[in-house]
Amino acid sequence: MRRVQPERIVVVGAGLAGLRTVEELRSGGYRGDLTLVGAENRPPYDRPPLSKQVLAGVVDDTTLRTDHDSLAATIRLGETAVSLDDRVVRTDRAEHPFDALVIATGARPVALPGGGPQRFLRTLDDALSLRRLLVPGARLAVVGAGWIGAELATAAVGRGCQVTVVEAGPAPLAGPVGAEVGAITAGWYAQAGVELRLGQAVRSVEDGGLSLADGGWLPADLVVAAVGVRPEVGWLAGSGLTVADGIEVDAYLRTALPGVYAVGDCAAFWSGRFGRRMRPEHWDVALRAPAVLAANLLGGQERYDPVPYFWSEQFGRMLQYVGDHRGADRMIWRGSPGPVGGRERWAACWLAGDRLVALLAVGLPRDITQARRVIESGAAVDQALLADPDRPVRDAARG
């Protein structure tokens, strides 16, 4: 039996997850009042192209296409939610009472200490203003050799900047994929003409550059902090929601408050598949989880338990990652990591017991589709077959 639908739904956060929620609610048959509140002055847009095509100067506008007539939603842009209390969202301009609420407020970049000017790469405005400064010869210091730092360095060197990437860890991408795998990408920086300084912590950002933890000084015309993001949840203080690393939601994307859901970068959902809470900060989550959320909000009982997927484009290479390797007990290479005969085709495969739990592929797009299915199935894999890049990943699955 279908539940009675809420009369008023408010969605806070007009990014991909917020917009997709509104779309899915309408396509799922919701006919009540729908309000989408977004802090930015722009209509919802896509973020992955910001560090790629926008910085490269190929694209200026990444607005997400949607059919506004069929959404029939009140879209309130340039309006920031400041508190949630007793079935009402208060913003800097109004109050929005609701019967159901979806929180999709995303994440914000972490700032570095120091009083000097620092920039970030999170919004379209960030990307457009940064691009204007990425002129030939400009000395750019990027702090953090993670996904965003690597993509920014790629674009900046392509625009003729002198780029130095400063990373506190032992290898690029050491946080997301571990130092052993991340180390394979270190050579890409030098090949591209980017200086990479590993094991180098930053003390503070100052006028004219970076003060380094070892007492050194790195002069720079422009400093960009690319040291990660934190869920945008400060406005929920005192709301009664459980917020640790993100708003805690169950497998149905419900918070502990009745009728309140959370989705996208701000939400930490429970994954039965991986046996832990996850907040992947992946575009694919913001794209797909809203369909599950909308179905549940309208009376369904669907679990969101994906095999997470992420991609990154850096230094002319496409990296794709599926799964979650945090529970893995070992990693094996598929193919020879690094360039062979001028081409790069390899993967890192993480296993827990005899099951594949994650795979990072460089130049092997077909591996990703197949690995996703193998991880989903939970089948045991034959390690020797998996390690052979000439055999399809699916052949490694036993049974």
Binding site for ligand FAD (CB under 6 A): 12-18, 37-40, 47-48, 50-51, 80-81, 104-107, 121-122, 148, 232, 235, 264-265, 281-284, 286, 310-312
Which of residues 106 and 209 has its CB atom nearest to ligand FAD in the complex? 106
The answer to whether 32 and 8 are in contact (CB under 8 A) is yes
* Total count of residues recorded for the chain: 399
Which of residues 105 and 271 has its CB atom nearest to ligand FAD in the complex? 105
H-helix or E-strand containing 61?
Answer: none
Nearest to 383 by CA among 347, 354, 346: 354
Three-class SS of residue 85? strand
As measured in angstroms, the least distance from the Cβ of 313 to ligand FAD is: 7
CA distances for 226 relative to 5, 51, 329, 396, angstroms:
42, 11, 29, 37
Which of residues 122 and 139 has its CB atom nearest to ligand FAD in the complex? 122
As measured in angstroms, the least distance from the Cβ of 43 to ligand FAD is: 10
Which of residues 95 and 354 has its CB atom nearest to ligand FAD in the complex? 95
Q: What is the DSSP string of 135-200?
A: -TT-EEEEE--SHHHHHHHHHHHHTT-EEEEE-SSSSTTHHHH-HHHHGGGHHHHHHHT-EEETT-
As measured in angstroms, the least distance from the Cβ of 373 to ligand FAD is: 19
As measured in angstroms, the least distance from the Cβ of 96 to ligand FAD is: 11
Which of residues 85 and 354 has its CB atom nearest to ligand FAD in the complex? 85
As measured in angstroms, the least distance from the Cβ of 322 to ligand FAD is: 11
List CB contacts of 269: < 8 A, sequence separation 6 or more: 249, 250, 251, 253, 277, 278, 279, 289, 304
Dist CA 347 CA 189 (whole Å): 19
Greatest CA separation for the chain: 67
Which of residues 165 and 396 has its CB atom nearest to ligand FAD in the complex? 165
As measured in angstroms, the least distance from the Cβ of 116 to ligand FAD is: 22
The answer to whether 115 and 197 are in contact (CB under 8 A) is no
Which of residues 40 and 376 has its CB atom nearest to ligand FAD in the complex? 40
As measured in angstroms, the least distance from the Cβ of 14 to ligand FAD is: 5
